[in-house]
Amino acid sequence: MRKALEEARGAEFEQLWLEGMIRHHQGAIDMALEQQQRQFESGRRPFGIDVLLDDILSAQRAEIAQMREWLAQWRPGAGSH
């Protein structure tokens, strides 16, 4: 992926970059969900952790939705990953 991104130009670069950023943001969602599960299983809930994790999930999901919208506008069907 990195080599393809380095060699891409213009719209191709932007599409590859957005697809990579969607995966990156999905990774943040996955980590937040894993942390929520660990907190639930351990019974330990540090003050504010629920709010922080909810904020992370909400923000990352909103950014993914925006990037998928951009992809769909630039290349029909690309936002359905």
CATH of the domain at 23: 1.20.1260.10
Give the tokens for residue 79: 């936002």
What average pLDDT does this structure show over 34-50? 86
Domain-located, residue 81: no
pLDDT at 25: 97
Domain-located, residue 18: yes
Under 8 Å between Cβ of 81 and 22: yes
Domain-located, residue 27: yes
What average pLDDT does this structure show over 7-34? 92
Domain-located, residue 6: yes
Domain-located, residue 15: yes
Distance of CA 34 to the CA centre of its chain: 15
Residue 45 has pLDDT above 70, yes or no: yes
Domain-located, residue 19: yes
Contacts 24+ apart (CB under 8 A), 23-28: 25/60, 25/63, 25/64, 25/67, 26/60, 26/64, 28/56, 28/60
pLDDT at 76: 55
Residue 41 has pLDDT above 60, yes or no: yes
